[in-house]
Amino acid sequence: MEKDQDKILSEVTTGEYKYGFYSDIEMERIPKGLSEDVVRLISAKKMEPEWLLEFRLKSYRHWLTMKMPTWPNLKIPAINYQEIIFYAAPKQRTNVNSLDDIDPELRKTFDKLGIPLTEQKHLAGVAVDAVIDSVSVKTTFKETLAEMGIIFCSFSDAVKEYPDLVKRYMGSVVPYTDNFFATLNSAVFSDGSFCYIPKGVRCPMELSTYFRINSANTGQFERTLLIADEESYVSYLEGCTAPSRDENQLHAAIVEIVAEKNAEVKYSTVQNWYPGDKEGRGGIFNFVTKRGMCKGENSKISWTQIETGSAITWKYPSCILRGDNSTGEFYSVAVTNNHQQADTGTKMTHIGKNTKSTIVSKGISAGMGQNSYRGLVKVLKNATNARNYSQCDSLLLGDKCGAHTFPYIEVDNQTAIVEHEATTSKIGEDQIFYCNQRGISTEDAIGLIVNGYAREVINKLPMEFAVEAQKLLQISLEGSVG
């Protein structure tokens, strides 16, 4: 019995990474290394206005004064920033108007990934912005959305077409001085998605960005800016994959969300960067700054993330609850297998009155994986009647993995109610026995239990994503129950 379980566990955890292929697309790369000239070069390549170049240079100069923080519960090999190519773009990108203008190799890549770039073929309404290495290659359903006044385009286009909006909101949630990787991103960010939902509009389809790292030795630094104006609603998805390589690649992105009065934003991520091989070689360093600002009254931001990829994940999607009665939510499932490490969680800063936040975090560790939840709930002095509920559970599959919890609670107001609960355990033998007894094999039982465990979070995902996430969870854990 015990042996059986171990065997099944190891089968389950040794599933291969499906998206590890590399596409031979003609690429334009700049020389590796980082300097003020590189920053200028990126800006020049993108034909950016003067103010943006200034912003980049300001960030770069500030970055030079910073040191990489050492507080996370992660073992990070030293990163040599002079060995990274900071800009790589598929060639032939002169105004992609129709699909025919796109490199067929590139289209093949996205077909292989199951990302529809062709609008007519696509079943449900999901508008996709596809980002490969440093630039956005195609945004679908742009016109349909434009009819409703929704702007959904690549960040570079937004800089050209809507400079006022970009200027007004960029850096307002994540300032360029925020942290080491956010500052680096502010200096060298290449592209990303931009989205603006006007007043009173309920976005009729899911918006989605698909990130793909393709080139070797490059770093990916994209920036997403999402603005939901008063009374609007949008659900936004993000997915990502990368080829299997022996060296580590850096991904340092920024996501900024602004929710005005009565607006609601739902942001879902299924993160599946290349996690490295079984011995822990290679894989993506996923160091991302994500933050949403509930600016107006009654606004709501909800983060949902399924983290199964990346060699190292280090991110804290956060909410600043500034408007009165605003709500922040965070639902997360993080899986670490083999040699993967994750230090993830959230920060909820309660500033406005009657603000509410909910945190549900489910960690699953298998193999030699180390999984940490780190969260901060901060109630400021004037946040009367703030309410927080946090729950973080860890599931351990195997005896060499680790699960850690570091919640920080800082309360400065007597009317606040802050609760935190955490549990750590392995799958109970009684649970497996119960399933076995009813004719469910150990492997299926484990799948069942893990899925049930993560259900609370997966339920928050849009339907198509939920199915994918469930499958992903199974693949990531293949062979890991014990």
Partner 1 sequence: MNGISEVTERYLQLYKDNIEKISGISSKYINSFRAGAFEKFRELGIPTKKNEAYKYTNLNIFFDHDYKSYFLPVESDFVKAEKFRCDVADLDTHGIVLLNGFYPTINDKLRQLPSGVWVGSLNEAATKFADKIEKHYGKYAKSETDGLIHLNTAMASDGIFIYVPEGVILTKPIQIVDLVQADDDMFNQHRNLIIIEKSAQISLIICDHTLSPHKSLTNAVTEVFVGENAHFDIIRVQNEHNNAGKITHTFIHQEKNSTASSNNMTLHGGLIRNSTYHHLGGDGAESHSYGLFLADKFQHVDNFVNVDHAFPNCTSSQLFKGVLDDMATGAFNGRILVRPGAQGTLAYQKSNSILLTDDAKMDTKPQLEIFADDVKCSHGATVGQLDSEALFYLQSRGINKREARLMLMFGFAHEVIQNIKIEPLRDRMDNLVMQRLKGDLSRCASCVVRCT
Residues that bind partner 1 (CB under 8 A): 71, 73, 381, 394, 396-426, 482
* Residue nearer to partner 1 on the CB measure, 144 or 413: 413
- Minimum CB distance to partner 1, residue 394 (Å): 7
* Residue nearer to partner 1 on the CB measure, 96 or 422: 422
- Minimum CB distance to partner 1, residue 426 (Å): 4
- Residues 6+ positions from 393 with CB-CB distance below 8 Å: 361, 362, 363, 422, 423, 424, 453
Assigned token pair, 182: 């956010």
- Minimum CB distance to partner 1, residue 70 (Å): 11
Alpha-carbon distances of 172 from 160, 245, 320, 347, 384, rounded to whole Å: 19, 36, 12, 17, 25
* Residue nearer to partner 1 on the CB measure, 244 or 431: 431
Q: What angle do CA 279, 285, 290 make, to 5 degrees?
A: 145
- Please count the helices (runs of H) and the strands (runs of E) in the chain: 11, 24
Q: How many residues does the chain have?
A: 482
- Minimum CB distance to partner 1, residue 446 (Å): 13
* Residue nearer to partner 1 on the CB measure, 105 or 421: 421
* Residue nearer to partner 1 on the CB measure, 214 or 349: 349
Helices (H), 325-462: 429-437, 442-458
- Minimum CB distance to partner 1, residue 400 (Å): 7
* Residue nearer to partner 1 on the CB measure, 35 or 415: 415
DSSP result, 136-188: EEEETTHHHHHHTT-EEEEHHHHHHH-HHHHHHHTTSSS-TTS-HHHHHHHHH
The pairing of beta strand 88-90 with beta strand 27-29: antiparallel
- Minimum CB distance to partner 1, residue 351 (Å): 15
Count the neighbouring beta carbons within 10 Å of the beta carbon of residue 64: 11
Count the neighbouring beta carbons within 10 Å of the beta carbon of residue 66: 13
